[in-house]
Structure 1
Amino acid sequence: MKIGAVSELTGCNIETIRYYERIGLLAAPPRRGSYRDYGPSDVDRLRFVRRGRELGFSLEEIGTLLDLAPQDGATCETVQTLAEQHLRNLRAKLADLIKIETALAHLVAQCGTRPNNYCPVVEFLAREF
């Protein structure tokens, strides 16, 4: 199938598909004339990448997961380790975002309460640390 059909089936932008080919996440498919000829395995792989991205995995992590996918045996343990590390990273980012949200909400609540057009957000951003 042509790249446009693959794009529609997977929800991946055509340029994104080409990018994944350039970086090796997706093998360049054989050509039929001047068109790339994608197959069902390419669609499955792109769906895997897209779902991985939706979960916040980096392209490097997704590459690792893709490399592990066809293996038998200890694959689940290795994937679990990678997923646990990713989960720890996400939780740390979430904690940071909560702190940022709290600080920004505090600054926004002060807007309009100060004389002389004092803006607490601008004042905070202009401060040296």
Structure 2
Amino acid sequence: MPVAIVTGSSRGLGRATALQFAADGYDVAVNYHTSEGQAEDVANAVRDRGQQAVVVGADVADPDAAARLVAEAADAFGSVDHVVNNAGIDQHVYTEHLDPDDFDRVMDVNVNSAFTVTKAA
């Protein structure tokens, strides 16, 4: 079976993407950062579609955690064929009130993690 990692797949577009991969015959590594229960629900929905799923909690902005995500997926399934860098966050404040550290966090998750996860894969 082909294998996909979908970052940020515990809800929203990531959830929909993970479920579409399952419908298309892929085993799926479901990634979450803080929503473990929702990620488990997605994994169960993947299994309900006849595919295998592994749930991996990892802050994809952290290079070590990103590498662990990829390693756990590869260990579970033998390989990784596709990576969807879906993880994203938002700070719900106007720019003039945004703290530089919060902006850095947004950039780390929304932009840098795509590089970090893809490089690890």
TM-score by length of 1: 0.21
Which has more helix, going by share of residues?
Answer: 1
Indicate the structure whose relative CO is greater, using CA pairs within 8 Å and at least 6 residues apart: 2
